[in-house]
Chain A
Amino acid sequence: MSTTQEIAAQIREAAKRLLSEGKVDCVIGFAQGTVPMREYPYFAYTPEEAENLTWSRFCCNNLSNFLVRRPKGQADKVAIVAQGCVSRNIVGLIKENQITREQVYILGVASPGMVDRNKVQALFPLKTITEVTEDGDELIVKGLGFEERVPTKKVLRQNCYTCVMRNPVIKDEMIGEESAPTHGGNIDKVAAPWEKLAPEERWAAFQETFKDCIRCYACRDACPLCYCHVCFVDEARPQWCGKTQDEADVATFHILRAFHCAGRCTDCGACESACPVGIKMRKLTSMIEKDIRELYGYTPGMDLESQPPLSVYKPNDPQEFIK
């Protein structure tokens, strides 16, 4: 397998070629962040700007998010760097008529699995990390007064361990080689963690998970599924959801946001990576997608042909709950 540094160099070359040939107006990729383990979405409009593009295990945003939030008239034809989950979200956006296939040139790349910065920080509690670099299968973590090597495998995001498709499902060009499609983990074994709790214990587990929420909505805003112009929590007439920190208001936001993503979530983990207080909202979303697999045999974004499960029906769909 190529290293992420080699992939980064190939992304830069491809971007420079596409921009100088005029095939696209803009290449959406990542550039190196100003803090450790946080590369940021970068928009290259010229071959010179393409020099700033990078690729690493610290690319935790879902770039497809930026295909639907771009101001009108700004770079109509874009190229985008997309690993498995991002390509699956592009498929979703095409199916939901938010973008067209022709509008986007996909630079496919196999996902190496992204690093969970909270996990790395947790290894060095209360210490200041100043620099983290990749070295093969290890991370070199430097901080004020220490330097240690950490096996990358131990600090990946949870969703990356159970990824069902690391390679892009659609692409115009592949950067580097394809990898094994999965990371080996079984999502059905870890999804819906509260299912094993007694019904009366579940609310407490749900509350514990979301207790630190400050309602910044970074989870929603980092999510490529949440492209509504006006989110239900921002509706004022009627106001569906209270604005306070009361448990009922916070719970309403998280339950309904998760429900709105039903049958659409690719488990890309962008929500958890964006959260400033480290909430694991996949404990909620993973249950819904497991339910969708069990009820309707559907995994979102795997191909352009199949129909979204909540936009269709079968006469013999399960209905034991209806009296």
Chain B
Amino acid sequence: MFARRRFAVLKDLLEYVGIEPGRLHFSWISSAEAAKFQETVLAVTEAVKALGPAKHMIKDIRKVA
């Protein structure tokens, strides 16, 4: 419940600086909800794949001086 507030702010902050919304997902899943867990993981993976490789916050030490 405390985390919910922090995540709400974090989500808005990351979108504000230009991180695509599809890269950040939140879900309530109890340890008894295996099916929901599976569905969520699939949905997250698909959403991130659809966006393609991240463009920001990426440090590639092969490229940087």
Contact = CB atoms under 8 A, between A and B. Distances in A.
Judged by CB atoms under 8 Å, the answer to whether A and B touch is yes
Interface of A: 192, 194-195, 199-206, 242, 244, 246-249, 251-252, 255, 258-259, 262-263, 284, 287-288, 291-292, 295-296, 309-313, 315, 317-319, 321-323
A307 to B, nearest CB: 12
22 contacts: A194-B18, A199-B20, A199-B21, A202-B16, A203-B56, A205-B18, A246-B59, A246-B64, A251-B56, A259-B9, A262-B9, A262-B13, A288-B12, A292-B9, A295-B8, A310-B5, A310-B9, A321-B8, A322-B27, A323-B25, A323-B27, A323-B40
B32 interface: no
Contacts of B8: 291, 295, 317-319, 321
Contacts of A259: 9-10, 13
B25 to A, nearest CB: 7
Interface string B42-65: 010000000000011111000010
Contacts, number: 99
A201 B21 CA distance: 14
Nearest to A318: B8
A35 to B, nearest CB: 34
Nearest to A313: B1
Interface residues of B, number: 32
A88 to B, nearest CB: 19
Contact of A321 (B2, B6, B11, B16): B11
Nearest to B28: A322
A251 B57 CA distance: 7
B5 A206 contact: no
Given A194-B17, A313-B4, A323-B25, 10 more contacts: A206-B17, A255-B17, A262-B13, A263-B9, A295-B9, A310-B5, A313-B1, A315-B1, A319-B4, A322-B28
A199 B13 CA distance: 12
Contacts of B26: 321-323
B40 A252 contact: no
Given A201-B18, A309-B5, A311-B2, A258 B25 contact: no
Contacts of A244: 59, 64
A141 B4 CA distance: 51
Q: Which of A255, A263, A292, A323 has the most CB of B within 10 A?
A: A323
A262 B5 CA distance: 11
